[in-house]
């Protein structure tokens, strides 16, 4: 990605200075307040739309370079629509990017006019204007919004204002906004580069789970770990993924999985908007020493007749796990790690990999605390009488009657 070589203002260090040539600037009215912005994860400048703007004095050579090709980039959060007419985000008498009462962005350069769809207030957006030497293009959030072959970008004024339009020694038509960056590149960036600029400037990011596994046993199905993706607006973004094997062949991915058949490395490429992230997946033979295993608990307690499933995390996906019990008469375990209590006591359940790595959980089985009838029914609820209780009552009455009869006979 090219770096801005004419003007680069990102408010780092709490200042509005240019990071390329230390281009001097003046405040037109009040200097905008600069503070850390959580959504952007960087400093941003607040323009109140009343009396805050910045004017940068570029050199004649810098402006001359813009005539053959240039890209102007702005990351901005617009606070409110103009009640009428237009306000200016940046510009001078030769060109300007405006925001109108219809909620649309409009860029003027000579007789050329580029117009976007309506954009939201209170939301971070990225705008880039590219002049190729033959046509003008506007990109909003990395997508082309408009194009014009009319007119040309031929700057004649060395001053450019941010927050309004440079006029005399100051600025006019001020816009209420928060700015993340303002940059000018001495070349016309293409659509792919504009897309990447938008992702970078809008703080687009991917976050992988801490336990994401990037190792797999060859010949086994590998479930690709997918990251969570978001941007400065906290929008949930959809991530796509593709991959290559060690020979450069495309991986066949179905339902988020692929099966590698050769040891070595596969490369996964994750894409969201213009952001690309690559991850390397190590493909190993079964039983390699690099594989480790961890259980979700070191101790468990269950009742006799009850069951619990132990969860195993293996650092290499596809490794076979062998489950064993130190005392199957107390607690048994199946091939999926499900432990069943047999009788009161203690047993150690062990999960072992082919390479000898293992993890264990001590399972304590308690005696069954509930009564169960011969038919397998549950104990009666409070206030109910179990069927066997009637039988006991009848036996008790019969025994009492028999004793009474014997006493009378005697």
- DSSP state string for 228-248: EEE-TT------EEEEE-TTS
Residues ≥6 apart with Cβ < 8 Å to 356: none
Task: Please report the pLDDT score of residue 28 as a whole number.
Answer: 85
What is the pLDDT at residue 391? 42
Beta strands in 110-142 (DSSP E): 112-118, 124-131, 136-140
**Entry pTM:** 0.68
Instruction: For the chain, list residues with pLDDT below 50.
Output: 370-410
| Helix (H) or strand (E) run with residue 191 in it | helix 191-201
**Closest by CA position to 4, among listed 128, 159, 135:** 128
* pLDDT for the residue numbered 406: 36
3-class SS at 126?
strand
* Residue in 141, 315, 131 with CA at minimum distance from that of residue 215: 315
pLDDT given at position 135: 87
Q: What integer pLDDT is reported at residue 220 of this predicted model? A: 92
Q: Map tokens 């503070």 to a residue.
A: 35
- Cα 192 vs. chain centroid, distance in angstroms? 22
| Bridge pairing between strands 124-131 and 42-48 | unpaired
| Structural domains of the chain sorted by starting position, each given as residue range(s) with its CATH number in brackets | 7-201 (2.60.120.200), 206-284 (2.60.40.10), 293-366 (2.60.40.1080)
Cβ atoms of 111 and 99 within 8 Å: the answer is no
Q: What is the largest CA-CA distance in the chain?
A: 136
Structural element, H or E, at residue 167 = strand 165-167
d(C-alpha 361, C-alpha 270), whole Å: 37
- pLDDT of 150 reads 64
What distance lies between CA 350 and its chain's CA centroid? Answer: 36
């Amino acid at each position: 990605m090219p770096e801005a070589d004419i003007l680069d203002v990102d408010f780092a260090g709490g200042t509005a200075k240019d990071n390329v040539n230390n281009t001097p600037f003046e405040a037109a009215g009040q200097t905008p307040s600069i503070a850390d912005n959580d959504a952007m994860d960087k400093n941003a400048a607040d323009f109140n739309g009343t009396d805050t703007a910045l004017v940068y004095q570029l050199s004649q050579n810098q402006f001359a370079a813009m005539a053959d090709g240039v890209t102007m980039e702005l990351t901005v959060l617009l606070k409110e629509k103009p009640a009428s007419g237009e306000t200016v985000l940046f510009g001078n008498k030769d060109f300007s990017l405006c925001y109108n009462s219809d909620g649309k962005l409009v860029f003027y350069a000579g007789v050329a006019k580029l117009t976007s769809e309506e954009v939201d207030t209170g939301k971070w957006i990225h705008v880039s204007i590219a002049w190729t030497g033959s046509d003008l293009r506007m990109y909003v959030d990395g997508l082309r919004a408009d194009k014009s072959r009319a007119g040309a970008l031929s700057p004649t004024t060395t001053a450019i204002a941010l927050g309004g339009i440079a006029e005399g020694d100051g600025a006019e038509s001020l816009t209420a906004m928060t700015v993340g960056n303002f940059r000018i590149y001495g070349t016309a960036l293409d659509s792919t580069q504009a897309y990447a600029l938008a992702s970078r400037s809008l703080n687009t990011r991917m976050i992988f789970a801490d336990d994401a596994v990037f190792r797999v046993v060859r010949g086994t199905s590998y479930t690709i770990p997918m990251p969570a993706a978001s941007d400065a607006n906290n929008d949930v973004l959809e991530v796509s993924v593709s991959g290559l094997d060690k020979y450069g062949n495309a991986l066949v991915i179905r339902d988020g999985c692929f099966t590698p058949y050769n040891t070595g490395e596969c490369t996964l490429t994750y894409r969201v908007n213009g952001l690309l992230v690559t991850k390397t997946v190590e493909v190993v033979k079964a039983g390699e020493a690099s594989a480790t295993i961890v259980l979700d608990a070191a101790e468990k307690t269950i009742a006799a007749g009850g069951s619990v499933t132990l969860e195993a995390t293996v650092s290499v996906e596809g490794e076979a796990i062998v489950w064993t019990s130190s005392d199957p008469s107390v607690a048994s375990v199946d091939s999926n790690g499900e432990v069943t209590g047999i009788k009161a006591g203690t047993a150690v359940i062990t999960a072992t990999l082919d390479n000898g790595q293992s993890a264990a959980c001590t399972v304590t089985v308690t005696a069954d605390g509930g009564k169960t009838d011969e038919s397998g029914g549950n104990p009666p609820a409070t206030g109910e009488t179990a069927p066997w209780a009637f039988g006991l009552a009848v036996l008790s009455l019969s025994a009492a009657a028999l004793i009474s009869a014997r006493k009378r006979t005697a």
